[in-house]
Amino acid sequence: MKKNYIFSPGPVEVPSEVLLAGARPTVHHRSADFPPIFARCQEKLRKVYVTEAPVAVLASSGTGAVEAAMVSTCSPGDTVVVYNAGKFGERWGKIGRTYGMNVLELQPGWGKPLDPALVENTLRKHPETRAVIVTHTETSTGTVSDMKGLGEVVSRTDAITIIDSVSAFAAEELRQDEWKLDMVCTGAQKALMLPPGLGFASASGKALAAMKDAKSPCFYLDLRRYFKSAEKDDTPFTPAVNLFYSLEQSLDMLLAEGMENNWARHTVLSRASRAAMTALGLTLFSERPSVVTTAVNLPDGVEWGAFNKELKSRGITIAGGQDHLKGKVFRFATLGHYNVFDVVTIVSAVEMALAASGHAFELGKGVAAAMEVLRAYHPARGWVAVEKETRALEPVAALLPS
Select from 78, 182, 351, 394 the one that contacts a copy of itself (CB under 8 A). 351
3-state SS, residue 373? helix
Scanning 114-122, 126-134, 222-230, 349-357 for contacts with a copy of itself by CB under 8 A, the matching segment is 349-357
Select from 301, 341, 392, 401 the one that contacts a copy of itself (CB under 8 A). 341
Select from 155, 365, 385, 396 the one that contacts a copy of itself (CB under 8 A). 365
Q: Describe the crossing of helices 259-279 and 365-374 by its angle, rounded to 10 degrees.
A: 150
C-beta of 321: minimal distance to a copy of itself in Å?
24
Question: How far apart, in whole angstroms, are the C-alpha atoms of residue 241 and residue 380?
Answer: 37
Chain centroid, CA 110 distance in Å: 17
C-beta of 356: minimal distance to a copy of itself in Å?
7
- In the complex with a copy of itself, the residue whose CB is nearer, 43 or 362, is 362
68: Cα within 13 Å, side-chain hemisphere: 32
Residue 3 backbone zone (phi > 0: left; psi -120 to 50: alpha; other: beta): beta
**Interface with a copy of itself includes 6 (CB under 8 A)?**
no
H or E stretch at 225: helix 223-230
What's the helix, strand, coil split of the chain in %, to 5? 45, 15, 45
**Interface with a copy of itself includes 3 (CB under 8 A)?**
yes
- In the complex with a copy of itself, the residue whose CB is nearer, 85 or 193, is 193
Q: Which residues contact 357 (CB under 8 A, 6 or more apart)?
A: 301, 302, 303, 306, 307, 310
**Cβ neighbourhood burial of 42 (10 Å; 0-12, 13-18, 19+):** middle
Select from 379, 392, 397, 401 the one that contacts a copy of itself (CB under 8 A). 379
Site string for a copy of itself, 160-189 (x = CB under 8 A): ------------------------------
- Spell 216-240 as b/e; 16+ CB within 10 A means b: bebeebbbbbbbebbeeebbbeebb
Residue 194 backbone zone (phi > 0: left; psi -120 to 50: alpha; other: beta): beta
**Interface with a copy of itself includes 391 (CB under 8 A)?**
no
C-beta of 244: minimal distance to a copy of itself in Å?
21
**Interface with a copy of itself includes 2 (CB under 8 A)?**
yes
Select from 106, 159, 268, 374 the one that contacts a copy of itself (CB under 8 A). 374
Terminal C-alpha separation, the chain: 48
Q: How many residues bind to a copy of itself according to rule CB under 8 A?
A: 44
**Interface with a copy of itself includes 55 (CB under 8 A)?**
no
Q: Which residues contact 13 (CB under 8 A, 6 or more apart)?
A: 5, 6, 193, 336, 337, 338
**Interface with a copy of itself includes 392 (CB under 8 A)?**
no
**Interface with a copy of itself includes 49 (CB under 8 A)?**
no
Scanning 39-47, 143-151, 365-373, 384-392 for contacts with a copy of itself by CB under 8 A, the matching segment is 365-373
Q: What are phi and psi of 274, to 5 degrees?
A: -65, -45
**Interface with a copy of itself includes 307 (CB under 8 A)?**
no
C-beta of 9: minimal distance to a copy of itself in Å?
17
C-beta of 200: minimal distance to a copy of itself in Å?
20
Select from 72, 122, 273, 348 the one that contacts a copy of itself (CB under 8 A). 348
Question: How far apart, in whole angstroms, are the C-alpha atoms of residue 268 and residue 274?
Answer: 10
Which runs of consecutive H residues, i.e. helices, occur in 231-316?
241-257, 259-279, 304-313
C-beta of 346: minimal distance to a copy of itself in Å?
9
**Interface with a copy of itself includes 47 (CB under 8 A)?**
no
**Interface with a copy of itself includes 371 (CB under 8 A)?**
yes
Question: How far apart, in whole angstroms, are the C-alpha atoms of residue 240 and residue 26?
Answer: 10
Q: Side chain identity at 131, as an amino acid letter?
A: A
Chain positions 310 to 329 lying near a copy of itself, rule: CB under 8 A, are 310, 313-315
Select from 255, 306, 368, 400 the one that contacts a copy of itself (CB under 8 A). 368
Site string for a copy of itself, 265-284 (x = CB under 8 A): x-------------------
Chain positions 109 to 138 lying near a copy of itself, rule: CB under 8 A, are none
Q: Which residues contact 99 (CB under 8 A, 6 or more apart)?
A: 70, 71, 74, 76, 216, 217
Chain centroid, CA 336 distance in Å: 10
Q: Interface with a copy of itself by CB under 8 A: which residues?
A: 1-3, 5, 15-16, 253, 257, 262, 265, 310, 313-315, 336-342, 344-345, 348-349, 351-352, 355-356, 362-365, 367-369, 371-372, 374-375, 377-380
